[in-house]
């Protein structure tokens, strides 16, 4: 379905995850974060950029990958996205919901 | 219930045995809860204590006797070395799907905010001290104290 975020029209699924990562921009990320009650600061963007980079390389994400990322540790990602680190961070990053159970 | 519409806010998981499959089920469920923003706590009792016992947690096995899911004749499962073989095969498969080993999984759970508790009665029974346990354990609790952790709406309890 279509949704207007930050004055742009993007396609999202029924859970509000963007279905085309190419439609994403920082303003959209900021608006999606606000919907989740998150005010983006530098460290949020570092995580979002890391996730988008990994996604572009086709690497499936898991909490273990975060642990070994060298970009952010598990404690910090929970502080940044307390309602679900990978799930919410992926949503803000304009990516699909992570399919892994780990 | 009416306010939360059945939403799960906290998972209390009791781990009572430490075969690989039970420990991983418990850890995956606890981690999965945290990943959804749900609180999670694990209470290790009786043989479940092995999963947080420093001397044992790196050497957990899968049961080859009395485990019908393995499709292995019971007599065969009892042969020397069979349990070690099945366990090492299972660990290899787990590594393939990026599953951490028990020690690393405990590190992940602890960093993710999962509370790890040891059962006082079982500790006494097995003559264990807190120093014998994984370093980042949150404490030793009685059953009553563990139940006390379940206060609030949307708390669910699992026995593994």
Least confident interval from A64-78, B57-71, B92-106: B57-71
Which residue is catalytic, options A15, A51, A101, A102?
Answer: A101
Residues A74, B112: C-beta atoms closer than 8 Å: yes
Determine contact, residues B36/B3, Cβ cutoff 8 Å: no
Identify the residue with better confidence: B47 or B61. Answer: B47
Output the pLDDT for position B2: 52
**A76 CA to chain B: closest CA distance, Å?**
9
Residue among B32, B37, B100 whose CB faces A64 most closely: B100
Using the Cβ of A73 and the Cβ atoms of chain B, whether some distance falls under 8 Å is answered with: yes
**Residue among B35, B108, B113 minimizing CB distance to A67:** B108
Per-residue pLDDT at A47 exceeds 90: yes
| Predicted pLDDT of residue B4 | 64
Tokens of A52: 């988008």
pLDDT, average across residues B100-128 = 95
pLDDT at residue B36, rounded to an integer: 94
pLDDT at B1: 47
Q: What is the pTM of this model?
A: 0.90
A92-96, B54-58, B85-89: lowest mean pLDDT where? B85-89
Share of chain A above pLDDT 90, in %: 84
List C-alpha distances in Å: A9 to A24, A89, B61, B88.
10, 20, 53, 51
The more confident residue out of B97 and A88 is A88
Contact A67 B111 (CB under 8 A): yes
Question: Which residues in chain A are closer than 8 Å to B32, comparing Cβ atoms?
Answer: 101
B139-141: strand order across its sheet: B139-141, B115-119, B39-44, B10-15, B155-159
As a whole number, the mean pLDDT across chain B is: 90
Residue of A15, A37, A64 for testing the chain B interface, max B β-carbons within 10 Å: A64
Q: Mean of the pLDDT values across residues A65-93?
A: 95
- A101: annotated active-site residue: yes
What CA–CA distance (Å, rounded) separates B12 from B155? 7
* pLDDT given for residue B97 in this prediction: 82
């Amino acid at each position: 379905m279509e949704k207007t975020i930050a004055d742009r029209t993007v396609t999202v699924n029924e859970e509000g995850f963007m279905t085309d990562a190419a439609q994403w921009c920082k303003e959209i990320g900021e608006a999606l974060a606000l919907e989740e009650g998150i005010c983006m600061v530098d460290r949020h963007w570092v995580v979002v950029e890391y996730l988008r980079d990994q996604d572009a390389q086709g690497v499936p994400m898991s909490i273990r990958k975060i642990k070994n990322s060298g970009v952010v540790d598990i404690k910090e990602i929970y502080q940044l996205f307390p309602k679900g680190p990978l799930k919410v961070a992926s949503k803000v990053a304009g990516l699909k919901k992570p399919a892994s159970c780990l | 219930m009416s306010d939360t519409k059945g939403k799960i806010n906290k998972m209390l998981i009791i781990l009572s045995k430490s075969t690989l499959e039970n420990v991983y089920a418990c850890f995956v469920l606890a981690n999965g809860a945290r990943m959804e923003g749900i609180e999670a706590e694990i209470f290790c009792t009786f043989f479940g204590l092995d999963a947080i016992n420093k001397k044992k947690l790196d050497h957990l096995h899968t049961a080859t006797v009395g485990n019908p899911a393995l499709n292995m004749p019971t007599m065969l499962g009892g042969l020397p070395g069979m349990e070690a073989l099945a366990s090492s095969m299972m660990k290899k498969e787990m590594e393939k799907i990026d599953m951490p080993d028990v020690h690393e999984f405990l590190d992940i759970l602890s960093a993710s905010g999962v509370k790890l508790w040891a059962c006082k009665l079982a500790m006494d029974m097995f003559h264990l001290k807190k120093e014998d346990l994984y370093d980042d354990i949150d404490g030793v609790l009685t059953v009553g104290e563990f139940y006390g952790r379940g206060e609030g709406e949307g708390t669910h309890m699992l026995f593994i």
